[in-house]
Amino acid sequence: GQQLNQSPQSMFIQEGEDVSMNCTSSSIFNTWLWYKQDPGEGPVLLIALYKAGELTSNGRLTAQFGITRKDSFLNISASIPSDVGIYFCAGQLQGSARQLTFGSGTQLTVLP
Amino acid sequence: NAGVTQTPKFRVLKTGQSMTLLCAQDMNHEYMYWYRQDPGMGLRLIHYSVGEGTTAKGEVPDGYNVSRLKKQNFLLGLESAAPSQTSVYFCASSYSIIMRGYTFGSGTRLTVV
């Protein structure tokens, strides 16, 4: 079953605003990944995190691997209309080498 | 380099009909996965394969079968389609070291009427 709690489920923001979303779990993860899904497409990898405490940026996106290894967050700065989509967190559970666990997604809408 | 290709992109089935969804990857990935995506439910794993000739059940395997006869292909079959199987289906593949994450296909939208 679902072991990742992703929040918020949806967000409506004004263009130019910053956005923050996170994933939490009671389990320990070895890897955290953040994906974005555009309408009608499959998810695309945005950022991968491999060590506790790691902070990684990809343009206007910044993600962090929580110190406890049980959480991660994604920030988007100065949002633009093309940021619209569903953002998923995913993680490799400690002891699970063959599959990722996915959060339920955050639907982001950017208003002009 | 096409990545992960899913066919067909859209399909409408009548209840009780059968069909096969094809996933092909050209990245020499060992692992392949089938997910379904439903509103508010995120991505749920149906079946997966860790190599040619192997398959394993995921979170929601009932009503589906899979085969991995060739390393590059992973087939998802619906023997007797039901309206509850109306969904968007995604195939993904990855290296044996999944730390690098999955590469997803663009999805198959299936409607069962």
pLDDT band, residue B2 (cuts 50/70/90) = confident
What's residue B42's pLDDT? 85
Q: 3-state DSSP call for residue A1?
A: coil
Exposed / middle / buried, residue A42 (Cβ in 10 Å: 0-12, 13-18, 19+): buried
Best A4, A99, A102, A106 member to test B by mutation, with max B CBs in 10 Å, is: A99
The pLDDT tens digits of the residues spanning B50-87 come to 999 999 999 999 999 999 999 999 999 999 999 999 99
Nearest to B102 among A2, A40, A100 (CB): A100
Q: Are strands B73-78 and A19-24 parallel, antiparallel or unpaired?
A: unpaired
Best A98, A101, A107 member to test B by mutation, with max B CBs in 10 Å, is: A98
| Residue among B34, B100, B103 nearest A92 (CA) | B100
Tokens 């096409």, residue?
B2
Q: Provide the β-strand partners of residue B91.
A: B34
Q: 3-state DSSP call for residue B108?
A: strand
What's residue B34's pLDDT? 97
Cβ contacts of A44 on chain B, cutoff 8 Å: 104
Per the prediction, chain B carries an average pLDDT of 94
**Contact flag B101-A102 (C-beta cutoff 8 Å):** no
Does B90 lie at the interface with A, CB-CB under 8 angstroms? Answer: yes
Residue A77's CB is within 10 A of a number of other CB atoms, namely: 14
Cβ contacts of A2 on chain B, cutoff 8 Å: 42
What's residue A2's pLDDT? 52
In the predicted structure, residue A1 carries a pLDDT above the cut 70: no
End-to-end CA distance of chain A: give it in Å, rounded: 38
Per the prediction, chain A carries an average pLDDT of 93
The mean per-residue pLDDT over the stretch B11-33 comes to: 96
